[in-house]
Amino acid sequence: MSIICDFRENIKNDELKNISKVIKEGGLVVFPTETVYGIGADATNKEAVAKIFEAKGRPQDNPLIVHVDSIKMVKEYTSSINDTEKKLMEMFWPGPLTVILKSNGILPDNVTAGLSTVGIRMPDNNIALEIIKKAGTPIAAPSANVSGRPSGTKLEDIYEELKEKVEVFVNGGNTDIGIESTVVKVDEENVVNILRPGKISKEDIEEIGLKVRLDKHIFEDVKDGEKVESPGMKHRHYAPKTKTILLEYNEDSSIMQDKVREYIDNNSNKKIGIICFSEHEEYYKNMGIKCITISSVNNNLEMSRNIFSYLRKIDKLNIDICIIEGVKKEKIGTAIMNRLIRACEYNIL
C-alpha cells in the first residue's frame, strides 16, 4: 500500500530522505511539478523505468521526459548543447519547457524509446527539485495517470487509479499551470520546433529572438508506425470515458451556440452536457443540458489549471456525450486546444 507525504505547507526533510531512498532503490514516486503531477523513477535504472510503463499501461514507443536539477546534470547524459538550446535553458529554466537533446547513450533505451535523443527539463517546483537533488539522479517522469486518461493536477484525482502501483505519493497541492510542459527541438537551421505546446508559447520564444515553427502534429494525428520524439504526439490522450466533442472557437459566440443547439436537436435521444465558459452558462442551462463552467472566456490560464480535473468530472455527470467549448489558438490557448483535440479524439463540431 502506498504512503502519502504531505508537503503542502513545507518540505519535510525526514520524509524527503525516505522518498529519495525509494527512488534510489528503484521504486516509483508520484510528485508535483508546476505543470502536472509526475510518476517518477530513477532515469538511469532500466528496471525502475520499466515500472513506469507498467503502472501507466503506457505504450513502449512513447519516450519519457527526464527531470533534472541543474545544467551540470544535463551535461552528464547528453552529447552536446548548442547556443540556441543553451539560450532556451537560460531564459526558461527552471520552468515548463522540455528541450530535446542528443543523448550520449548513458540513459536506458526505454527512457528514449530507442531514439538517439532525450527530452530534458528542469521543473519550477521546489518539491520536485529537492527530490531530484536528494536522490542525486535524474528522474524520468511522465504525467501521473493511467495512459489515455486526463493528467493529474491534484492528488485526489489520481490516487485511486495509482495507489496499488507506486510506493509514495507526495502531496504538493494543486499544480500551478495544469497542462504539461512545452516540448521543443532545435533543428540544424537553429529553428525551434514546438513538438508539444504548453504554457511557454511560440510567441514567448519569438520574444527572445529565436525562430519558431509549430509541428504539424500539434493538431493532426500521427500515423501508425511513425516515431515521435515527444510524449503527447500519438496515441489516445487526456480523454475521459464519456464521448467528448470539441466545439471550435469562434469570436462570435452565437455561432458556437447555434452549432450546439443544432447538434442537440439532431441527437435528441442522447443525454448531452457541456463544459463551457461562465459567460455562456445561462444560455446552455436554458437549453436544459448539464453544464460545467470552467473559466471566464478570456481567462485561458484558469482554464489550463482546471481542464484535466474537469475532464475527469465529465464521467460523473451520467451523460452520453459532452461538448467542450474551445479557445483561440494563440499563446497558451494553442496548448489547450492541442489537449482538447486529443481528448476528443478529433471529434470536432
Read off the pLDDT of residues 72-125 as tens digits, 9 standing for 90 and up: 999 999 999 999 999 999 999 999 999 999 999 999 999 999 999 999 999 999
The predicted model gives 125-148 an average pLDDT of: 96
C-alpha cell read off for 21 = 531512498
Closest to 242 measured CA to CA, from 343, 342, 332, 341: 343
pLDDT at 236 over 70: no
The predicted model gives 228-250 an average pLDDT of: 78
Q: How far apart are CA 84 and CA 91, in angstroms?
A: 11
Q: For 267-302, how does the pLDDT look when each residue is reduced to its tens digit (9 = 90+)?
A: 999 999 999 999 999 999 998 899 999 999 889 999
Q: Match 520574444 to its residue by C-alpha cell.
A: 207
User: What mean pLDDT value characterizes the chain?
Assistant: 93
Q: How far apart are CA 51 and CA 249, in angstroms?
A: 40
Q: How far apart are CA 87 and CA 44, in angstroms?
A: 26
Q: Which CATH number fits domain 243-343: 3.40.50.720, 3.40.309.10, 3.40.50.11030, 3.40.50.970?
A: 3.40.50.11030
Q: How far apart are CA 111 and CA 51, in angstroms?
A: 11
pLDDT at 232 over 70: no
pLDDT at 168 over 60: yes
Ordered by start, the domain boundaries in the chain are 3-218, 243-343
- Say what the pLDDT of residue 221 is: 73
- Say what the pLDDT of residue 2 is: 85
DSSP state at residue 348: B
Q: Match 532515469 to its residue by C-alpha cell.
A: 43
The predicted model gives 234-249 an average pLDDT of: 84
Residue 5, φ and ψ in degrees, nearest 5: -105, 125
Q: Please, are residues 140 and 27 in contact by the beta-carbon 8 Å criterion?
A: no
Q: How far apart are CA 39 and CA 28, in angstroms?
A: 7
Higher pLDDT pick, 238 / 161: 161
Sign of the Cα pseudo-torsion (6, 7, 10, 12, in order): positive
Closest to 46 measured CA to CA, from 35, 38, 34, 54: 54
- Say what the pLDDT of residue 185 is: 98
Structure pTM? 0.94
The predicted model gives 190-210 an average pLDDT of: 97
Q: How far apart are CA 136 and CA 187, in angstroms?
A: 31
Q: How far is CA 173 from CA 8, 124, 311, in A?
A: 6, 15, 19
Task: Indicate the range of 24-33, 36-45, 219-228, 325-334 predicted with least confidence.
Answer: 219-228
C-alpha cell read off for 114 = 530507442
Q: Which CATH class is domain 3-218?
A: alpha beta
In the chain, helix, strand, coil percent, each to 5?
35, 20, 45
